[in-house]
Each structure stands twice: as structure tokens, then as C-alpha cells.
Structure 1
Amino acid sequence: MMNRDEFLKKSFLLGLTATFANSTMASALMGGAAAEKTFNLDYAPHAGMFENHAGKDFIDQIKFMHDQGFRSIEDNGMMKRSAEEQSRIGDTLAKLGMTMGVFVVDKGGNGANSLAAGKAEYVEIFLKGCREAVNVAKRVNAKWVTVVPGDFERSLPIGIQTGHVIEALRRGADILAPHNITMVLEPLSDTPNLFLRHADQTHLICKAVNSPACKLLYDIYHMQRNEGNLIPTIDKCWDEIAYFQIGDTPGRKEPTTGEINYKNVLKHIHSKGYKGVMGMEHGNAFKGKEGEVSLIKAYREVDSFI
């Protein structure tokens, strides 16, 4: 006959099993080896997001991401990695059947080197970045690169600035298009000094560039801060959107930690037939392994409404 202590112990373990069965949290906390089921949308974590579980090596982090059900990654700083490391990342993704999301075109007109200024030396920095990005993309099998035109040029009318940006982007698209690489333009909320800050403005520029190699990156975090009205704006800009990024606000952490109703937003994006990458461009709300488990749980929660 089972004594009281044994009964309580078994009851506790059964309770844990019932609570965590078939969940990502169970895998993370209990060290399960079996890969979790994939998500309904293709969420892409970045380097460092799960280093408490997987360690400092990005390759090990990618493998951990795969085990948790993620099937893509993104890495803004990919161009700053060595060619050898880029190849290792590309080989790992290929073996795991994972997709490489965006990386940022190095010196792509960011900050003071603004494409809006129309200066030849700034444009050449951008074009050089595009040429280098082609080589990096081949190593990691990437199809998207992030481009930000840079700061607003206060000495020029907005129409002239827009013309300068369109002309530079057309030249960049000519470099990328033959390699089936798409630059995705990202309107940002980091500072009012930036030239590109709104979705409709980016949509107009994509139309004017008129190339499959120039599309819109809709970062939900930035667009909530700059303009809100997320779902109607996504619908209006849909034909030029090629990539999404995620982050809640305030705080720029995972969904469910801020004001954005990600259950509805992600459900809407999925209902429109989006099959692309959803970059997880945000920090972890909580520290350590517990924070990483909490992050995964948040994505499981919002994804379950799709």
C-alpha cells in the first residue's frame, strides 16, 4: 500500500506533467530533447535571446531555437561576422531546415550618411553595402536585407529628399534583384530626425522604386509608437509589405507585456495568408532562464489564437 508521502510525491509529479505536457515550457524546464511543434506563424528569434539555456555560441542557440519550434532566425549584425562564421550559420540553418531572416545592410545610409541628402559619397556607401550584402546573403541563404535611408535633411524640401531616396534605392535594387534579394525599408520611431517614419510614406517610396527588390518592413513596435491604427494600416499597405517584426510597447519586449493586442494583430496577418518571417526584434521582459521560458510561453499564447 502506498504511504502518504509517496502519494503526495506522485500526485505532485502528475500535476506537473498535466500542467506542462506538450508545452514549450516543459521542454525548457525539464530538458526535453524532442523538438516542440512549429508555430502557426514563422517567428524568428535573434542572437542572445536564449543564451541562458543554450550558451554563448550562436550555433547552439539556433539549435535550441529549433528545438522550441522556431523555424527562422534574424541577425541584424550578420555583416559584421566573419565569413567563416557566416558559413557556419548558413550550414546549420540548412541542416535544420530553417530560414534566414533579415540582416542590416552595413552602412546603408544610416544616421548622418543619409540618402535623403543626395550626396554621391553617401549613395556609394549604400551601394557598396548592397554589393557586400549579396556575398553575405549567399553564405547564409538570406532573401531579405534591412535598409534605413538615414536622417531627415533639413536643408532640403521633403519632395527633393524623397526623390534622392528613390533614386538611390533604384540603384540598390538593381544590385540585389538579380540575386533574388529584397531590401525591406523600415520606418522607425527611434528619433524624429529620421527621414523614414511612417508606413504610408514607405509604401509610396516602394511604389516609386517599382522593383520586387524594394519592399516594406512593417515593424509593429515602431508603427504603434509612430502612428497606431495597426490593422487598417497593414491592410492599406499590404501589397508592398514583405516582412514583419514584432515588439510590444512600452518597453520593446515580447507580446503580452505591453499595450498591443497581439492576439488580434497576428491572427489578422495570418488570415491574410502571410507566409513570411516574423522577426522577434525585441528584448526579453525577464532575466535568466525563467525569462526565456516566459518569452516562449508568451508566443505560444498569442499564436494559439490563430
Structure 2
Amino acid sequence: MDRRIFVKSSLGLAGAALAAGETAASAPSGKNNFKLKYAPHFGMFKNSAGDDLVDQLKFMADMGFMALEDNGMMGRPVEVQEKIAKEMTRLGMEMGVFVVDKGGNSQNTLAAGKKEYIDIFLNGCKRAVEVAKRVNAKWMTVVPGDFERNLPIGVQTGHVIDALRRGAEILEPHGLTMVLEPLSDTPNLFLRTSDQTYEICRGVNSPACKILFDIYHMQKNEGHIIPHIDWTWSEIAYFQIGDNPGRKEPTTGEINYKNIFKYIHDRSKKENKSFIMGMEHGNFSPGKDGENALIKAYVESDSFAV
């Protein structure tokens, strides 16, 4: 999956009809006081807020979503980046992840250890610093790319660690963190599980290289979600959300998000941590009704006792 076009494609994936007998959800009134910082993406509420990005930000904040993630931020014109950042500052919203452009994919896999691939990655990190400063971001997503299957797995892992150390040297002086995301999109991807990502982060040994724990992908690849969060907790810097099957909002699939959110909230509070919870999924139902149902799903999943 091309992460840079996820936002553009997610609405197209969200065209499921309302379930039989389900009544349309009425628009929520007033700002929800969520316990966690859930971060929608542009397009998620376009039927309610319109196409204008500033209007979408205002709608998100009005509904209680006080963070944003935008995978394609690096590809937006500078003036658009600045406009988004200015409005988010005014609204008191926090910026979540964007994807490091060409940070690692099937064309420049870091596992190969090839100089030309590493140079592409490092150039992406340098450009990401400027974007992060412009939009007040702290985290950027990196996917190391595919396996290099003619090499032993340990050698591939060493190549990935070496490349990421060099990326961390670029980001760390600016207080920025690349978050490595294990994915389930194809078995060709080198980074697949949370424990593998934990091992790599320990090898890089930098605050600028941590885990992006995408609950949807990890449910598909490894399951046992809360224990895996527990085991890899010290290296996690960011979470993303999506129910399975379908990659839609919580309550539409098999994952018990209320329990997972409670675990993250309670442990974070004890350790004085804070995470952005990226809403990297489509809408189960179309139109305004689907958007209102999505908001209600988050209200329900966030209603755990503290």
C-alpha cells in the first residue's frame, strides 16, 4: 500500500451501505471530552465540513478531536502546509505523523544495504526536518521497504539498523522521531511484527527511532494486542487505529478497542506519558450519516472507566 495516497483512497474504500435496519445517526452536539488524543485525517469528515482543509480542521476540533495526522503532508505545497499549521495552532490542535517521502518502499528497500537506496532515505529525512518545523510535527513514519531475499535475515536486519542510525543522526538534533511501522499489506515487506521492530529500535539506540504500533496491522500479523503493547511499550512512540476486518472505525470489526484504549490510557497516566492515536482507517458507512456514526463509535470506545 502506498502510504502517501492513503488519505486520497480511504474514502473510496469506505463506501459500505448502512446495515439493514440501522437508523441514521444524528449529528453529535458539542465537543466531546475524549480521554485520549485521537487524530483524524483530511477527508474523513468532508461530507460534514466540506472540501476546504481549514473547515475540516474546525469540524474536527468542534467534535473534540484535538490532533491531526496527514500521511501526505510532505507532498503539499509550502503555503498549504503553513496554512494548516497556522489554523491548528489557533485551534490548539497537535500534529501527528506524516510519511517520510521515499523513506523506504519496494523501490529503495533499506534491507539491501545499497548506497543509492540509503541516500534516498537520508535525503527524505533531511527534507522531513524542514516540513516538521513548518507544521510543528514531532513524528514521521518510516517503512524500511521489502525483504532483500538473496541475503540472510540477520544481514538484512543489520543493513536496516545501519541506515536508520544515519537517519536518526539527522533527526535527533531537532528533537524529531521517526516511527517505524510494521505492516500487513504484503508478505514482501521486511518489517512485519512489533517484536521485530522493538529489536531494531534497540539496535538503533536513539530517541529519534521508535515504534509506530498500528493496531489494525498488528491484529492481522500477530494478534495478542495488549501483551504485544506491553512487551514493546518502552519503544512505542505512536499508535494508529483501524478495526479488522475492513480497516474502518472501532466497533465495526473484531478488536475490543475499549479495552485497548483503557490499557493505553491507564498505563500512560501512571508513567506520565502521552500518545497520539492516529485514526488511519476509512469510514464504515458513507456520507454525513457515516461520519456521525464514526464519531459515536469513538465516543463509545472512549467511554471506559478510569
Taking structure 2 as the reference length, what is the TM-score of the superposition?
Answer: 0.89
Q: CA deviation at 1:57?
A: 1.2
Residues 63-120 of structure 1: per-residue CA shift (max 9 Å, x gap) = 1000000100000000010000000011111111110000000000112310000000
Helix, strand or coil at the partner of 2:290: helix
> Which residue pairs with 1:263 in the alignment?
258
Matched, 1:227 2:226: no
> Which residue pairs with 1:154 in the alignment?
149
Residues 144-174 of structure 1: per-residue CA shift (max 9 Å, x gap) = 0000000011110000000000000000001
- Residue correspondence of structure 1 range 281-300 to structure 2 within 5 A: 281-300=280-299
Matched, 1:134 2:134: no
> Which residue pairs with 2:71 in the alignment?
76
> Which residue pairs with 1:39 in the alignment?
34
Matched, 1:110 2:109: no
* Contact 1:38 1:71 survives alignment (8 Å): no
Helix, strand or coil at the partner of 1:183: strand
> Which residue pairs with 1:12 in the alignment?
none
Q: How many residues align?
A: 277
Helix, strand or coil at the partner of 2:125: helix
Q: CA deviation at 1:208?
A: 0.5
**Where has structure 1 moved over 6 Å in runs of 4 or more?**
none
Residues 188-212 of structure 1: per-residue CA shift (max 9 Å, x gap) = 0000000000000000000000000
Please give the alpha-carbon distance, in whole angstroms, between the structure 2 residues aligned to 1:47 and 1:37: 19
Q: CA deviation at 1:38?
A: 2.6
- Which protein is bigger by CA-based radius of gyration? 1
> Which residue pairs with 2:62 in the alignment?
67
> Which residue pairs with 1:303 in the alignment?
302
Helix, strand or coil at the partner of 2:274: coil
Q: How high is the sequence identity, in percent, across the aligned residues?
A: 68
Please give the alpha-carbon distance, in whole angstroms, between the structure 2 residues aligned to 1:88 and 1:136: 13
> Which residue pairs with 1:280 in the alignment?
279
Helix, strand or coil at the partner of 1:91: helix
Residues 20-55 of structure 1: per-residue CA shift (max 9 Å, x gap) = xxxxx76x36xx5xx513310000000100000111
Q: RMSD between aligned alpha carbons?
A: 1.0
> Which residue pairs with 1:169 in the alignment?
164
* Contact 2:32 2:299 survives alignment (8 Å): no
Please give the alpha-carbon distance, in whole angstroms, between the structure 1 residues aligned to 2:189 and 2:228: 20
Please give the alpha-carbon distance, in whole angstroms, between the structure 2 residues aligned to 1:92 and 1:157: 49
Helix, strand or coil at the partner of 2:284: coil
Q: CA deviation at 1:295?
A: 0.1
* Contact 2:33 2:64 survives alignment (8 Å): yes
- Residue correspondence of structure 1 range 229-248 to structure 2 within 5 A: 229-248=224-243
Helix, strand or coil at the partner of 2:277: strand
Please give the alpha-carbon distance, in whole angstroms, between the structure 2 residues aligned to 1:55 and 1:210: 44
Taking structure 1 as the reference length, what is the TM-score of the superposition?
Answer: 0.89
Q: Which amino acid aligns with 1:60?
A: D
- Residue correspondence of structure 1 range 80-91 to structure 2 within 5 A: 80-91=75-86
Q: For structure 1, which segment, 197-206 or 36-45, has the greater mean C-alpha deviation from structure 2 after superposition?
A: 36-45
Higher relative contact order (CA 8 A, sep 6+): 2
Please give the alpha-carbon distance, in whole angstroms, between the structure 2 residues aligned to 1:71 and 1:112: 35
Gaps of 5+ in 2: 1-24
- Residue correspondence of structure 1 range 116-127 to structure 2 within 5 A: 116-127=111-122
Please give the alpha-carbon distance, in whole angstroms, between the structure 1 residues aligned to 2:158 and 2:51: 44
> Which residue pairs with 1:211 in the alignment?
206
Helix, strand or coil at the partner of 2:44: coil
Q: Which amino acid aligns with 2:62?
A: D
Gaps of 5+ in 1: 1-24
Q: For structure 1, which segment, 185-194 or 264-273, has the greater mean C-alpha deviation from structure 2 after superposition?
A: 264-273
